[in-house]
Amino acid sequence: MNGRRTTYAGRVQGVGFRWKIRALAAGYEVRGSVRNTDEGSVELLVHGDHPEVEAFLEAIRTSDLAGLISSESSEEACLPPGSRGFHIVV
């Protein structure tokens, strides 16, 4: 299993960014969450088999969200035990 914490900066809050990521996640065998940060970025926490996680992250990069992203940073991460599904943290 592979876990990634990815932070997106740019015009990513107030434009439906989290909702689009959640919709994209439905097409992949991943679980995790996406949330706005106090700094104005969006944080994605995703977990799944390495090929699925990488394909999901690439789908975000090539979606219509790409024009809203000015930078992306990513690191390995773990989900809390018992996490299920993919959700938006409000």
Tell me which residues are annotated as active site: 18, 36
Nearest Cα residue to 70 out of 34, 5, 17, 33:
17
Q: Are 12 and 41 in contact (CB under 8 A)?
A: yes
Nearest Cα residue to 47 out of 10, 2, 8:
2
The residue behind tokens 């679980």 is 31
